[in-house]
Structure formats: C-alpha cells, structure tokens
Structure 1
C-alpha cells in the first residue's frame, strides 16, 4: 500500500532538540586521544551544543586532595586535568553540562563503588566540604573561562540516586541536593541547577517527593532531569559476553515524557521548568548488540521525531564507544552505547542524529515513519522503518507518494540511505570474521562500509507540485533533501553529457 500525502504550504514549528546535548562516559576519558577524535567527528557533522559526563569529582580527574600538616587536614584542589578536558571540549565547539559526582576518595563515607573504574557512590563524609568543593571548582572555572561563559553551563546534581548509583537514602539525596544547589547559587545566581537525574524506577514517587521537598524548603530548581531507556529486563544467556533484551515500542519513551510533564504540571512552581533527559537509549547495557545495528538507527529516529514536543533536550547515551563501565571494550563491535565505534567507525545511529541535525525548522507532516520539514529554501524529509526481526511476522516496506508545493522551477533531490549493506559496518565486520583488533586495511574497509548510499536526480515541478516516491525497507533510515538549483549549463559552450553517458544534460 502506498500512502499519499499532500503536504501543506505552511506548517508549525518543529521542536527539534536532538543536538542540544549528548552523553559521554566519565570525564577522565577525555584525556584519551581516541575519545577526542570521536568528539571531533560528531561535532563536524552533528554540532551538539552540550556534553554530559560522569565523574567530574572522581580521582582520575584528580581535583580533590587532602594533606596533613601539623595535625591539620588541609584540602588541596588540583585543576590540571579539568582544565585540559574543558579546553578540549570548548575547542571542539561543545560546552559541558556538568554532573556533580561521584565522591572523591577523601570525601567518601563508605566503600561502595560501581563500574569497572570504581566510582564511589556514598554520601560525603562532610557536606560542608562537598559544598566547598563545588564552589571552589566553579570559581576556578569562572576565573579561567569567564563568568559570562560559565553561567551558560547547566549543573545536574548526581546521577540516578533512585538506584544503585547512590548508597544513601532519598532523604540523604535531598540533603546532597540542598547543599549542592545552594553552593552553586552562592557562586552566581544565574547558573542553572537541577535534578533529580533519576532513571525509570519509582519515577512518579521520586519526582513528586523531590518537587515537594524543593518547594517546601525553597530550594533552587531551574530544570528537571531524568533518564529514559526502552529495554525490558535482560535476557541472560550462559557463557555470553553480550546481553540481549526485548524492547518496548519507541513511543513508550514519548509516553514517559508526557507523563513527566503531567506530573510537573501539578506544581505551579515546577510546571514551566525545562525538562532535560540527560540519558536515553534503547538498551541500558553497554554490551547489547542492538546499539550497533541499523534497527537502532530507525528505532531512535522515531523518538527524535517527537521528543522535542515534551523535552528541552534528550541526550543520547553516548557519543563514543570509548567507554569503560563494564571493563575495557573487548572488540571494535561489542554492543557499546556510542554513535561511533572504536577505530573511529560511524555506527548507523550516528546518521540518525546527523539527519535530524539537518531537519528544517518548519514541520509540514509527521507520522509513525516519516517527517517532512522545510526551511525557507529547501525541504528535508526523514524516513525510518524499525522492525524487530525476532518477531514472526515479516515487515512490509513503507511506501509514500509525497506531493510537495514547489519552491523553485528546478531542484536537486539528494537521497541518503542507511540499511541493508549500506552504513552497516557491523555486517561488514561479521563478514570479516569478527576480528578482535583491526589492522590498517580492516579499519579502512570498515570506515568505508559505514557510509550511507547517496543518490541524486533532477526534480521538476508539475503545476506547482513536486511528486516524490519514498520507499523505506525494514530497518532502514533515509533522508531526502530537496534543494533549489541555479542551472548554469547554458554558460558552458558545447557541454553535453549525452555524448558519452546518455544522460540528461
């Protein structure tokens, strides 16, 4: 069946926040060359505005130290690595979305840690010293980068305190938030601070309790943060280095965003605040092969097509597979979260974000599989078709016949496609025999295999209408750009493509 869509002349604002922020592993990874190489790649094509990392205060960044002198404990603040990291971010055209965590060794109240790199998740042994650490760090950043710059960096208090990333109680998190938020505002009232950075466990209870605590105690709260993943419980397989899930519909994340907005609307002091999804993805495990697939590219596209209606940012977790929560990655493709695999190989979902970064500001049409947008001088159409091939029923191609109002007598139609054997380096890697490490030749092959198929043709109006056929196979993603052409052919004497190729000149 072909769906015919008569696209209107005028539309509404497309609330596209897909490149506001992106996630990262711990901040200390920015000291690795490959991490910064990957950041350069995403910034060249996607242009994220902010980056959110764990581990600002972890000991591999090395900010907080204590020394004893004459039986006195003297704090020492070392910003050598932090300066190097922030310099690198700003040089890459991206600002930090600062997450306050985890606990430095000298401020911990216990030994509970998470991740391969042992992030300490216990409350501070001294909340006063924790607050001082925040204020000294922010004042250093202001001195180095300028006050007007640093006040544009949002600050989130901790990470997922409603599960194992916080060893304290809810009440202790609220205490941490109070000390942290007040410390931020004492540095500069204009710096935005928020939380509670929860994941999808007891969401409503945590949000309402947090809102009511902030309102009752008149605590600073400039934005609300939470995380969204759409995977069900892992399917554990014996003797496997990979973890698999069944997945919810991508619209379940949209539903969660709506529900979060509805909860916020019950509190007049909260209702108008920005909502930032500071982590989202399909699976929440960095060993799930779904992250490396063309399925994921199409699946995430459905989320990006509508999430901006409810959230002011939605930060894909993560931009790079330089990531070590479950040990050092054991192979180039291992199910990592990143948009870019090790060896600087773009994954299919990289193009989901690149395509949406090119979307027009005006929304003309949207449904479950396609979005039509427009700027003053061009159309951008993005189509996707995700289907879990583990289901028994086959998926039929999605077919559209789009009728678009003319923007110029002659235009160029460019189509880029992800799916099948195009922009699918996971398939090529499998064809290679799944090498653990890559030699130079294998890297070149995989990087080339990661590029989409690009085709183009001339397009002419007919009675003020362009007629375009769009077919989207199962687990494919595509982008069509329609760009006006200033045809200069007549300026070239005797140039005729038909002479050799039989093409329209």
Structure 2
C-alpha cells in the first residue's frame, strides 16, 4: 500500500501538450462517413487542435495531374477533394497539421510505393515542378482559408525519410534537397508560414543533428523539429493478420523525448519547438495491444509527463478507419485508433477523455498518478496500474490524502480496466465476430463506457482521505467537488416515505 499526501497548492502547470495534435490515416479517408463520425465523437469528448495524416499529394486526393497541351505535358492542379477534406476538419474545430507528401505518380522519379494504397516514396523527377506544386497548394490554402488562418498550420516535409520504406534508399542528402526546395517554396508564399522536419522515426537521431546543421549552413528555413516515437520491439511472431511485439516500458518513450530535446538544445537552433508527430506503443496497425486496457494504462504516463519535454505529441491515430495494411479484416484487428469500427470507443479513448478533465494547476504527480485542480475548484486526479505481465491479480491500493477547503464533498469516479470499459474482451466472448450484427454492435457500445461510481463524503480536518484499489491495467478518473446542498428548499420532502428505499 502506498500513501500520498497531496500539497494544498500547486507549484507548476500541467501542460496539456498532448491535445495539440492527433494522427489520422491517409487524408483521402476523410471522404468516408464513418471516418467523420469518429472524428466528431473524438472532438466532442476530447477536442484536439490539429490533425496530421499522410497522402496529401498522393493520387487518391487528386491534386496533381499532368495534361497534354500543344504537345507538351503541363501540370493541372485539382483541389476538389482537399477542399472537401479540410472544410470537414474545420467544421469539427480541428486544423490540419500539413504533411507534404507523398509523390504524385506523374511527378515521381520511380515506382516504389508503400502501403495498400500505394503512396509513392521516390523523389520528384523534376524539382522545379515539385516547387511549383508546393507553391500552388499553399497559395490555394491561403486564398481559400485566409493568410491568418494558414499561418497557424504547421507544414511538415515528408514522413520518416530515414526508412527505405518511406523514402527511396533512405537517402539523407536527397531528403535535405527535397526539404530545402520545399521549405523555400512554402516561405515564398508567405515568410510567416511554419515549416519543419525531418519527421524521422526513432533509431536515427543523427538525422536531427545533421538536418539542423544543414539548415544552418545553407540558411534553409526551419521553424520546428519533428520526430516519431514508438516503444515496441521487433515482432516475435507475425501472422497474416497480426503482429505480436513486446514493449519497452513507458520510461523508454519519455527518454526518447528528452534525448531529442537535448540534441535540439545543442544545435544551431536551440530553441526550436519540438513536435512528436506520431507516437503509440506498437508501430504496427495490426497489433492487438492497441485494442486493450494495457495500451490505455501504458499511455497514461506518457500523457502525464510527455508535455514536460515536447511542445506536442500526436497519438497515432484517432480512428480505425485506416488502410495501411489493406482494408481492416475484422472489428477488432489491432488498429491504431482510439475509436474502433462502428464507432466503438477503445479503453485508450477514455484515457484521453479522462486527461481532458484535468485542470492546469498541478498539485502532485508520480509515475502512477497525477492530481490537478481546475479553474472551477474541482480537484481531478487520475491513477493507473500498468501491468505488462501475464496472469491474474496485480491489484494495488493507493491512499491519497487531499486537502480541501470545504467539508461536504461529492465524488465521482470513472473506471476502465480489464473488466470495465473493455469492449475487446466482450467481443472475444461473442466469438470474435468479424462483421458483427447490429445488436452485437449495440452491446459493444454499451460495454465501451467507463464504470461510474459516486458517493457523498465529509472531509476530516480539511483533508479528504481516498482509498483507491486499482485492478490490473486500470485507469481511473476521480473528480472531487463541493456540495451545495439544496435539500432544505424542498417543501414536504421526506425520503422515509419511500417504501424500502430510505430508513
């Protein structure tokens, strides 16, 4: 048993940098109704500020085409779909974090592609046409949405060029050339637009140092640094439908954040903003861990501490409407999303909603809990019990003493764990239906809600003592507020007259 004494006043601010951005599958998916249904749900319950995804310039969005005019192939820019996509985002109060990629087929220097939807990952065969494309796209955004709006949109150049899957030969110098041409093109539209990179994944952090020195030596614009972070080891088993991977502990991801922040501090641009534009446990969209309470309990510590080291960190992704490894083959298939198909929230969804309920005054924090106070005076705390071992048990009791300036208290507690708010386990009980009937979906949505407990308490000598028992992979949100008791105002109220209800 652990006992925690919470201070009466906070000495720091809880930075909600986790809310800055969330990831999405390729942008073309935003033309699907279920995708927008999921995004609406996420925005209502969590409310991210930005959204980032691949494929802005891929052929399914259709921006770049070439047509023959007087015997010469000339570019034709078509903004029909991207306007519809961005309009849908803005209606839902979320702005684009623009990723400039992948390569349009007509402009590509080769035929290497990635993913089921075949995003081309080769350099442009004509850099002048690439530059003109970037200028045309950014200029269209400014014309349609206004310069003041577009100045708030970050522009990131490419995605994970340090991997051969995402950039031909993982050619660093070729990426630097692409970045320079692209960044100068963006700035030619308006010098106040934000552009950055190199959007690498972990394992190649020398790219960060080399990239920043390259920009300094050549006077290339750079307004932020971006990187990705995952903590899964190489798969120990692969099947047609699933990857199975062990995870490093959450501390590993926080160390990644710290390490890259220090590299930036030692660079020619020591004060640049640092954005983690993708993070999750596993980097695979077919790892069942994403569907489980373990994933939720794991992410809790990242949300609690990550904002101390990075300006934003973007969970990958908000929805299982996602097609990197083909169209999803089952309701629960290990997808990245906070929301499963059929608009069923996963446990990790609720962790984000819990953190949204926290205040900005940080009263206490350790690797298993965070205590805050909101502007309305409500004390909100989250506790979690991450268990990465197999088996039953692993309950943990934490005693929390919280100073409160009022005696009459209302307590609301919401719980997700292996038993509550876990539609994945109920889906297993149903026999893992690939394409569940509507009644099954209705049941899973009912199960996908957190378990809620309430009680009325009195503080003793200005302190409320909470005894919190946490089950395996549980995350719980507790909100404590003052009771303004108006019972006295009801004329003739007598609960004793209710048969078998009150004594």
Quote the residue 1:353 is aligned against.
352
Matches within 5 A, 1:392-407: 396-407=394-405
Q: 1:104 to 1:240 in 2, by over 3 A?
A: closer
Distance 2:425 2:496 in 1: 38
Per the alignment, in what secondary structure is the counterpart of residue 381 of structure 1? Answer: strand
Q: Distance in 1 between matches of 2:348 and 2:338?
A: 6
The corresponding residue for 1:278 is 277
In 2, Cα distance between equivalents of 1:318 and 1:395: 31
Q: CA deviation at 1:495?
A: 2.4
Matches within 5 A, 1:98-117: 98-117=98-117
Partner of 1:293: 292
Residue-pair matches, total: 500
Measured in 2, the distance between the counterparts of 1:344 and 1:279 equals: 22
The residue number in structure 1 matching 2:211 is 210
Kindly provide the CA deviation profile for residues 134-182 of structure 1, in whole angstroms up to 9, marking residues without a partner as x.
1111111111111111110101000000002001510000000001111
Distance (whole Å) between structure 2 residues aligned to residue 11 and residue 483 of structure 1: 21
Distance 1:270 1:502 in 2: 71
Aligned: 1:188 with 2:190: yes
Q: 1:199 to 1:98 in 2, by over 3 A?
A: same
The CA deviation at 1:19 is 1.2
| Cα distance per residue 1:391-410 (max 9 Å; x no partner) | x7x76323222121214332
2:465 to 462, 467, 476: 467
**Does the C-alpha gap of structure 1 residues 258 and 411 become closer, same or farther in structure 2, counting only changes over 3 Å?**
same
Match of 1:228 in 2: 229
Give the Å deviation of 1:491.
1.1
Q: Structure 1 residue 483: deviation in Å?
A: 2.0
Tell me, what secondary structure is at the counterpart of 1:179? helix
- Mapping of 1:69-468 within 5 angstroms? 69-163=69-163, 164-168=165-169, 169-203=171-205, 205-237=206-238, 239-267=239-267, 269-376=268-375, 377-390=377-390, 396-468=394-466
More moved, 291-300 vs 131-140: 131-140
Separation in structure 1 between the aligned mates of residue 75 and residue 145 of structure 2, nearest angstrom:
23
Deviation at 1:502, TM superposition (A): 7.3
The alpha carbon displacement at 1:504 in A equals 8.0
Deviations 1:378-421 (A, max 9, x none): 1110011111133x7x7632322212121433221100000122
Q: Whole-Å Cα distance in 2 between the matches of residues 220 and 19 of structure 1?
A: 26
Determine if the alignment matches structure 1 residue 40 to structure 2 residue 40.
yes
Q: TM (normalized to structure 2)?
A: 0.97
1:108 positional shift: 0.2
Provide the C-alpha distance between the structure 1 equivalents of 2:6 and 2:125, rounded to a whole number of angstroms: 64
- For the Cα contact (< 8 Å) 1:18–1:357, is it kept in 2? no
Say which SS state the counterpart of residue 18 (structure 1) adopts.
Answer: helix
With the length of structure 1 as denominator, give the TM-score of the two structures.
0.96
Deviation (angstroms), 1:74:
1.6
SS in structure 2 opposite 1:371? strand
Contact in 2 for aligned 1:379/1:482 (Cα 8 Å): yes
Judge which range, 10-19 or 70-79, deviates more.
10-19
C-alpha distance in 1 between matches for 2:466 and 2:441: 37
Whether the aligned pair in 2 keeps the contact of 1:387 and 1:474 (CA below 8 Å) is yes
> Displacement, 1:485?
2.3
Instruction: Decide whether the 8 Å contact of 2:105 with 2:120 is kept in 1.
Output: yes
Q: Deviations over 1:260-318 (max 9, x none)?
A: 11111112x42211110000000000110000000100000011110000011110000
Unaligned runs of at least 5 residues, structure 1: none
Cα offset, 1:469, TM superposition: 1.5
Q: Secondary structure at the match of 1:133?
A: helix
Following superposition, the deviation at residue 503 of structure 1 comes to 7.2
Whether the 8 Å contact between 1:27 and 1:53 is mirrored in structure 2 is yes
Separation in structure 2 between the aligned mates of residue 435 and residue 397 of structure 1, nearest angstrom: 31
- The CA RMSD measured in Å over matched residues stands at 1.5
**Where do 4+ consecutive residues of structure 1 move more than 3 Å?**
496-505
Moved more, 403-412 or 27-36: 403-412
Distance in 2 of aligned mates of 1:411 and 1:139: 56
Distance 2:487 2:379 in 1: 24
> Deviations along 1:345-367, whole A, 9 cap, x unmatched?
00000011111111110111111
Comparing 480-489 with 318-327, greater Cα deviation is found at 480-489
Q: Could you tell me which residue of structure 1 aligns to residue 23 of structure 2?
A: 23
CA distance, structure 2, for counterparts of residue 451 and residue 83 of structure 1: 35
Please state if 1:68 is matched with 2:68: yes
Work out whether residues 51 and 94 of structure 1, in 8 Å CA contact, stay in contact via their aligned partners in 2: yes
Distance 1:501 1:320 in 2: 48
